[in-house]
Structures are given as C-alpha cells and as structure tokens.
Amino acid sequence: MSRTLFGTDGIRGVAGVPPLDPATVFAFGAALGEWVAHHASRRIIIGMDTRESGPSLASTVAAGCAESGVECCFAGVTTTPGVAHLARTGDFAAGLMISASHNPFQDNGLKVFDHSGFKLPDSEERLLEQRIFALLARNADPRGLPLVADPAYDRHYAASLAATFSGSLSGARLVLDCANGAASHIAPELFRLLGAGVIATSCSPDGRNINLNCGALHVEALRQRVLAEDASCGAAFDGDADRCILVSPSGRIIDGDHCLYIAARKLRPSAVVATVMSNLGLERALAALGIPLVRTAVGDRYVIEEMLRSDLPLGGEQSGHVIFRQYSTTGDGLLTALRVLEIATLSGLDLDRLAEGFTVYPQKLVNVRCATRRPLEDLPAVQAEIRAAESEFGNSGRVLVRFSGTEPLARVMVEGPTQDRVDARAHAIAAAIQAALA
C-alpha cells in the first residue's frame, strides 16, 4: 500500500496548506500521541529549524499529542540529527523534527524518529497515515499548546559531538556557512570549542532566509570566501544540518561522495553504502581500494537500512548526508565535518590530498516540474531518450530518471565521459519528460 502523506523524508509541504494545514497537523499529533501512549515512556522531544512556521506547527502537534496524555518536551531550534540523538539517549518514546531540510522557508515538514534514533519504517508511517485520516474524519477543532524551549537539550547534543573528536583544531581556520538554519548557533560554538578559528556566515536567521542563496545547495560563495581567507576548510550545512558539503583549501568542492571516499580510506570497511545518485567516480575510486559500493534507493533512510542489514559502518549520499554508524543513526552534517577534519588532523594531510584518487565523472542533474505523474516506463519518448543515452555511454556512464519523493519534480541524472555529451543527453531526456507530463 502506497503512502499519501509521507514521502521519502516524512510529511512535507507548504506550511498552512494540506498536508500541513492545522487540522491535519493536529490529527498527526493525535495519531503520534496514540502511538507513543503504547510505549514505556509517554514523552516525545520536539525540535525545529528556523522557519517562521515552526513554532505554530510544534504547538499544534503538542496539542494533538496531549489528547492521549503524551508530554512534549521542546528543544526549540536544533538540528535533525540532534533530535535523533535526543530521542535515542533521553527518556523519550520518539523524537519529532519540524523542518523541510534544504527547501525554501515557505515549506516545512514533520519527521519522526523512534526511541532507537532511527526514522520510522514505511510500514509504521502507513499505520500513522491510516490513523490520521480516521481522526480527520471526526472534524476536531485544531488548537495549540504553549511550548517553552529548553536550551539544555541543544547543549547536551553539542557536548556529545565534541566528545567524539580526537585531538584539537588549534591553528585551523574554518569558514562555516550555516544556511541561516538550525546550525546557526551550535556550529560556530562547537568548532570554536575544539580550538578552530571560525569565520561564521549565514548565521542570522529571520524565519524567511533559511537556505536562501546559502548553505549546502549554494556553495560558490563559501568557496570564494575560503580562497579569500586562505582558510583550512569551508563547511556548508543545509537548513536542518543533516548534510554537509566541504570546501578544500584550493577551492575544491568536497561533497558527500568525497567524504565517503576519505572516510573509507581511513576505516577500510568491507563495503560502503550509497544511493543510485552517487557518482560513478566514487564506485571506481573505492574499487581501486578493494572496497565494493552497495547502492540503494535515494534517501538516507534506505542507506541506513542497508547498513544495518549488512552490518556496515559507513554510508551516505552525494548530497552530503553521511552516516557514521558508530556515532549516529542518521546523516549529521556537523558530525561529518568533525570526522573528515579529524582524519585531516591526524594524518597531517589537507582535504586536497585526502581526496586524491577520486576522479569525478562529468554529471548533469536536471529537475523537471511535473503537473502530473505517470510511470516513466509508460512514456515511449522518454524511454527512447534514456536508451539512446545508455547506448552512447555504455560502461562509461549512467542514466537515472526518477520522481522526487519530496517535491513535484522529475529528476534526471546523466553521467558520462565528457560534460558536453552528458549535458546534451540530460536535456534531451528532460525535454521528453516535459512534453509528456506538462
């Protein structure tokens, strides 16, 4: 049975509009409260990023949970991995993060973690959906419950991160881009605590500037600042800080694939888990180390599921979600930066040296906004363009076309030997999709 409300990363949409309208959010809280009420602890921890809609959504969820006698503790602004950590280490049955990650401020989302710190599996989300729809049919009046943030929760999370780091960042000069999001306060404090000189940018959230031309999706300004400041490293986080993109001293972009390669060189795992979006260059670079790459569907939840199934310590996504299973149950941008910087510190090598051996294959990503969705295999013109690209590139390239799980988009990814050929094939496929689904 497919899910209607939940996508690949919780419930996401425009704040105030279904499925994030007050009635549905209140029903979500009530359904979550009923689920929590069957656990030993009858408490959940709620965190949010810096979007202006966050406090209202948190208040409405808390009121719904209260219907079942469930207490909601409020961490206020914190990161998605921070909520997962608090759910796992505290007396909580679950954690709820209110965030739309890298999306613009108008969007928001509801993401649930169980007491183990893992995102709920699809089967549990389907059950929650059924209960939400049943509660909506009762037409209860949505309301809010006042919440007061306790900064002790964020301090606990920051201390746990600092405790994982070996050595000191004394002498390091870091430029941090916090996307005007959840990392705006915690990231500069954390890296200064570890001895680094920090130049903090995009750390002035106003409720509407989260991810606005900054953060992990917009790293060019960070790259220029790293070069201008002669910095040791740059780090860009997204709105909820579960992903990280780094910049080397020479200005090289170190994305999630590079981070996986750098960590794998150090950890030497029996295999690394990544998604179908990871660059072919990662697969080839790991193969040169004798390390297989296991690919999953897009979404860090599927990466961690495979890591657990195969008992593997390292996995992630090109987008910057990297999971170090020894320390975390989900992607954590701050933890990723710490792990890579620790490897650099202990080895005496900068990020440029650590990334040697990884050659990125030319890649083109094209997003196509779709008014409707139809199975891609039912679109002959699209399939013809895909086959043409695969025939041209053979083993020296890849083609991936899929629908987004969080936005009304078809995503086209093409890799190949030269950028011009890759661009041409990606745009041809995108045009065929546009014509078929406009």
With both helix axes pointing from N to C terminus, report the angle between 333-347 and 186-193 in degrees, rounded to the nearest 10: 20
**Other beta carbons within 10 Å of 97:** 32
Outline where DSSP puts E strands in 125-243: 173-177, 197-201, 233-237
Bin 436: left if φ > 0, else alpha if -120 < ψ < 50, else beta.
alpha
Residues identified as active-site? 101
Other Cβ atoms less than 10 A from the Cβ of 138: the count is: 8
Find the largest Cα–Cα distance for the chain: 63
- Kindly state the tokens that stand for 91: 């007396």
Three-state SS at 421? helix
* Degrees, nearest 5: CA angle 94-97-100: 150
Q: Which of 321, 306, 299 has the alpha carbon at shortest distance from 405?
A: 299
The CA distance from 149 to 403, in Å, is 37
Contact yes or no for 147/55 (Cβ under 8 A)? yes
Which two three-digit tokens encode residue 392? 């041209």
